[in-house]
C-alpha cells in the first residue's frame, strides 16, 4: 500500500468522492497566483489496475475520447496526466451528487419514493442530449464516431446544484474507432441497466444505450433500481428478460410517458427508438416542459439531499425536516461517510467510558477506608 494521495502534480487533493472498480475519483483544487482557485475532479487509477496494461489502455482511451467531448451535459475532461507514477484524468468538478446517490437519499417510506416526474424527464432529456451529441461527433475522417457509452446508469449521471445533469464515465465506451479487443470479463456495465443484447454479449449500438436510458428513467420514477436480486447473477438474469410491461403500466406517470418508455425498453433493438434524437423528440412531446419545472424540481430535490446528514438518510422525510443541518456531508460516497460516522461514534463512546472510569477511580482514591 502506498501513502494516501495528497497531491497530483498541480492538483491538491481535498477528499475522495467516488470509486468504481478500477479508479478513485477525488475532489481536488487547482491553485494559482493571487488566490486563484478552481475546483476539479481527479480520477486516478488504483495501483493494482495501473499494473494491468489493458486497463491502462482503456483509461487512456477514456481520456482521449473525453478530450473530444465538449457538451453542457457531459462532465468535461481537462487533462490527462501522470504524477508519481500514477495516471490521472482531471475533469470539470460537478458540484452536487450522482443520480444514484440522490435516489439513495430520497425519503423512504413503506414504498420507495421516486423523483418528481418532471425532474425525471428533465434528467432523461439531459442524458439524451449528451448521447445524441456523442453519437454524431465526427472522427478525424469526418465520419461520426458512433459512440456507444455502454454504461448509462444512475452512478454515471452527475447532478449539479443548479439542476443540470451530466453524463460521465466514458470508460468502457466504444465506437467506430475502437476495435473490440477487450478481454472477456473485463468490460462491465452495470448489469441491472444493461439491454438484453449487451448482457448476452451481443452486438451493441446506440439503441443499447437508449434502453439503459429507459431503465434509468424507471429508476427515477420509482426511486429504486429496476431489478433487484441477492447477487449480480440474479440481477443479470432478470435484466436479460427485460422489464415486464406491467411494471411500466404500474408507474405513476402519464400514459404518454409510459408509451415512450415501452418503446425505449423494447426487447428487440429494431423496435426501439433509432437514435437519441428520436427518443428526445418523443419525450418532449409526451412531457413538454417549457417553464423548466423539471430542472427547478431537481435542484430542490438536490438541495434537500445535500442538507440531509448521512445518518438520517434512510429515515423519514419528517425526521430530515425536524433536524435540518446546513452542513454538506463531508463526502458523497455513502460507504466512506457511513464508516467515518461509525469510527467517530466508537471514539466518542470510548472517550465517555474512559471519563467514567477515571471518575470512579478518583472517587475510590478519595474515599476513606
Distance CA 213, CA 251 (A): 16
- Rule CB under 5 A: is residue 169 a binding residue for Mg ion? yes
- Rule CB under 5 A: is residue 62 a binding residue for Mg ion? no
Q: How far is the CB of 30 from ligand ADP (least distance, A)?
A: 13
Instruction: Write out the binding residues for Mg ion, residues 8-27 only, by CB under 5 A.
Output: 20
Size of the site for Mg ion (CB under 5 A): 4
Choosing from 48, 61, 151, 254, which is the catalytic residue?
Answer: 151
Distance CA 266, CA 236 (A): 17
User: What x/- string results for residues 2 through 21 when contact with ligand ADP is judged by CB under 6 A?
Assistant: ---------------xxxx-
- Rule CB under 6 A: is residue 49 a binding residue for ligand ADP? no
Nearest to residue 218, comparing CAs of 193, 189, 199?
193
Distance CA 163, CA 119 (A): 9
Query: Does the annotation count 151 as an active-site position?
Result: yes
Long-range interactions of 265-270: CB distance < 8 A, separation 24+: 265/211, 265/214, 265/215, 265/218, 266/211, 267/196, 267/242, 269/195, 269/197, 269/205, 269/207, 269/208, 269/211
Any idea how long the chain is? Answer: 369
Judge whether 127 and 152 are in contact, CB under 8 Å: yes
Residues 262-292: b if buried by 16+ CB within 10 A, e if exposed: bbbbbeebeebbebbbebbebbbebbebeee
What cell numbers appear for 105 in the block? Answer: 437519499
Judge whether 22 and 14 are in contact, CB under 8 Å: no
Return the SS3 of 227.
coil
Nearer to Mg ion among residue 175 and residue 189 (C-beta): 189
- Rule CB under 6 A: is residue 23 a binding residue for ligand ADP? yes
Q: Which residues contact 253 (CB under 8 A, 6 or more apart)?
A: 117, 120, 221
Q: How far is the CB of 226 from Mg ion (least distance, A)?
A: 18
Q: Which residue is nearest to Mg ion (CB)?
A: 169
Span from 50-58, 87-95, 138-146, 208-216 in contact with ligand ADP (CB under 6 A): 87-95
- Rule CB under 5 A: is residue 98 a binding residue for Mg ion? no
Residue from 41, 218, 225, 261 that binds ligand ADP (CB under 6 A)? 41
Nearer to Mg ion among residue 220 and residue 282 (C-beta): 220
Residue from 88, 93, 211, 227 that binds ligand ADP (CB under 6 A)? 93
- Rule CB under 6 A: is residue 225 a binding residue for ligand ADP? no
Nearer to ligand ADP among residue 42 and residue 221 (C-beta): 42
User: What x/- string results for residues 324 through 343 when contact with ligand ADP is judged by CB under 6 A?
Assistant: --------x-----------
Distance CA 41, CA 93 (A): 5
Q: How far is the CB of 196 from Mg ion (least distance, A)?
A: 21
Judge whether 113 and 106 are in contact, CB under 8 Å: yes
User: What x/- string results for residues 275 through 314 when contact with ligand ADP is judged by CB under 6 A?
Assistant: ----------------------------------------
Instruction: Write out the binding residues for Mg ion, residues 271-330 only, by CB under 5 A.
Output: none
Beta bridge pairs of residue 108 = 112
User: Out of ligand ADP, Mg ion, none, which partner does residue 197 contact, by CB within 5 to 8 A per kind?
Assistant: none
Nearer to ligand ADP among residue 75 and residue 235 (C-beta): 75
Phi, psi of 16 (to 5 degrees): -75, 135
- Rule CB under 6 A: is residue 86 a binding residue for ligand ADP? no
Nearer to Mg ion among residue 134 and residue 261 (C-beta): 134
Q: How far is the CB of 37 from Mg ion (least distance, A)?
A: 27
- Rule CB under 6 A: is residue 66 a binding residue for ligand ADP? no
196 burial (CB, 10 Å; 0-12 / 13-18 / 19+) is middle
Residues with active-site annotation: 151
- Name the site residues for ligand ADP (rule: CB under 6 A): 17-20, 23, 25, 41, 43, 75, 91-94, 98, 155-156, 158, 168-169, 171, 332
- Name the site residues for Mg ion (rule: CB under 5 A): 20, 155-156, 169
Amino acid at each position: 500500500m502506498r501513502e494516501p494521495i495528497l497531491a497530483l502534480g498541480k492538483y491538491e487533493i481535498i477528499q475522495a468522492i467516488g470509486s468504481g472498480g478500477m479508479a478513485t475519483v477525488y475532489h481536488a483544487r487547482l491553485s494559482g497566483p493571487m488566490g486563484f482557485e478552481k475546483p476539479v475532479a481527479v480520477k486516478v487509477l488504483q495501483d493494482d489496475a495501473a499494473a494491468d496494461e489493458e486497463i491502462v489502455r482503456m483509461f487512456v482511451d477514456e481520456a482521449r475520447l473525453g478530450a473530444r467531448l465538449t457538451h453542457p451535459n457531459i462532465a468535461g475532461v481537462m487533462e490527462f496526466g501522470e504524477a508519481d507514477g500514477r495516471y490521472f484524468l482531471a475533469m470539470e468538478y460537478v458540484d452536487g451528487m450522482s443520480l444514484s446517490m440522490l435516489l439513495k437519499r430520497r425519503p423512504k417510506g413503506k414504498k420507495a419514493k421516486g423523483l418528481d416526474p418532471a425532474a425525471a424527464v428533465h434528467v432523461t432529456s439531459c442524458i439524451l442530449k449528451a448521447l445524441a451529441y456523442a453519437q454524431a461527433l465526427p472522427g478525424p475522417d469526418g465520419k461520426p464516431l458512433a459512440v456507444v457509452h455502454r454504461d448509462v446508469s444512475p452512478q454515471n449521471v452527475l447532478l449539479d446544484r443548479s439542476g443540470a445533469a451530466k453524463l460521465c464515465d466514458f470508460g468502457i465506451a466504444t465506437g467506430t474507432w475502437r476495435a473490440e479487443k477487450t478481454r472477456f470479463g473485463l468490460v462491465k456495465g452495470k448489469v441491472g441497466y444493461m439491454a438484453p443484447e449487451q448482457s448476452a454479449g451481443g452486438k451493441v449500438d446506440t439503441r443499447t444505450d437508449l434502453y439503459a436510458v429507459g431503465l434509468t428513467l424507471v429508476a427515477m420514477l420509482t426511486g429504486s433500481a429496476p431489478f433487484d436480486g441477492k447477487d449480480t447473477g440474479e440481477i443479470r438474469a432478470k435484466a436479460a428478460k427485460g422489464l415486464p410491461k406491467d411494471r411500466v403500466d404500474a408507474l405513476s406517470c402519464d400514459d404518454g410517458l409510459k408509451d415512450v418508455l415501452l418503446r425505449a425498453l423494447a426487447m428487440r433493438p429494431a423496435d426501439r427508438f433509432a437514435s437519441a434524437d428520436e427518443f428526445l423528440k418523443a419525450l418532449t412531446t409526451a412531457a413538454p416542459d417549457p417553464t423548466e419545472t423539471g430542472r427547478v424540481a431537481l435542484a430542490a430535490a438536490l438541495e434537500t439531499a445535500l442538507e440531509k446528514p448521512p445518518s438520517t438518510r434512510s429515515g423519514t422525510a419528517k425526521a430530515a425536516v425536524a433536524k435540518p443541518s446546513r452542513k454538506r456531508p463531508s463526502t458523497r460516497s455513502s460507504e466512506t461517510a457511513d464508516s467515518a460516522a461509525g469510527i467517530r461514534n466508537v471514539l466518542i463512546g470510548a472517550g465517555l467510558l474512559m471519563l467514567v472510569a477515571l471518575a470512579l477511580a478518583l472517587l475510590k482514591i478519595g474515599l476513606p477506608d
